[in-house]
C-alpha cells in the first residue's frame, strides 16, 4: 500500500467553538460526550473504510497553520484523492495530500533520478550542445 500524509484544516465555517467550550472540545466534554478529536478520528476512520486499502495509521493535532495531520495508507492516488474530495465536500476539510516514502523507496527514487540525469546528459551531449 502507498502511504500518504494529509495536512488537514477544518475550515472556519465548520469550526466555531465558544471560548468556554474549547478545552472540553479538545479533551472531551464534561458530560461524557466525545471530544472534537475523537469525532474527527471517527469520521476519518469510517470514511477510510470505503477506500481501497484504506487505513488510518496515525492522527495528530498540530499547532500552526495545519489543524491536524493524518498518516494513512491507500491503494493508489485515485483512492486517496477520492477520500480527500469527500472530506472537503462533506465535512468542510481542506487537505494537502503528500505521498510518503520508506527509506528503501527513496533509494529506488534516487536511482530513477540518476538514470534520468544520465539519459538526459547523453541525449543532450549527442545533440551537440
- Residue 109's pLDDT is what? 92
- Residue 20's pLDDT is what? 56
**CATH fold of the domain at 2-102:** Alpha-Beta Plaits (3.30.70)
Alpha carbons 113 and 34: distance in angstroms, whole number:
47
Q: How many CB atoms lie within 10 A of CB 27?
A: 12
- Residue 81's pLDDT is what? 97
The whole model's pTM is what? 0.78
- Residue 25's pLDDT is what? 57
Greater model confidence, 31 or 90: 90
* Burial (0-12, 13-18, 19+ Cβ within 10 Å), 24: middle
Give me the sign of the Cα torsion angle 40, 66, 80, 82: positive
Q: Is 55 helix (H, G, I), strand (E, B) or coil?
A: strand
Q: Once rounded to an integer, what is the mean pLDDT over residues 57-74?
A: 94
Query: Each residue of 102-114: pLDDT tens digit?
Result: 999 999 999 999 9
Amino acid at each position: 500500500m502507498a502511504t500518504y500524509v494529509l495536512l488537514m484544516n477544518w475550515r472556519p465555517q465548520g469550526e466555531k467553538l465558544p471560548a468556554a467550550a474549547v478545552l472540553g472540545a479538545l479533551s472531551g466534554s464534561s458530560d461524557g460526550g466525545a471530544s472534537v478529536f475523537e469525532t474527527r478520528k471517527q469520521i476519518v476512520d469510517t470514511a477510510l473504510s470505503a477506500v481501497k486499502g484504506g487505513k488510518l495509521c496515525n492522527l495528530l493535532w498540530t499547532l500552526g497553520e495545519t489543524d491536524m495531520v493524518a498518516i494513512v495508507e491507500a491503494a493508489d492516488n485515485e483512492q486517496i484523492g477520492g477520500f480527500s474530495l469527500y472530506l472537503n465536500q462533506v465535512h468542510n476539510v481542506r487537505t494537502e495530500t503528500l505521498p510518503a516514502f520508506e527509506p528503501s523507496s527513496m533509494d529506488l527514487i534516487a536511482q530513477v533520478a540518476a538514470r534520468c540525469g544520465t539519459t538526459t546528459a547523453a541525449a543532450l551531449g549527442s545533440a551537440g550542445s
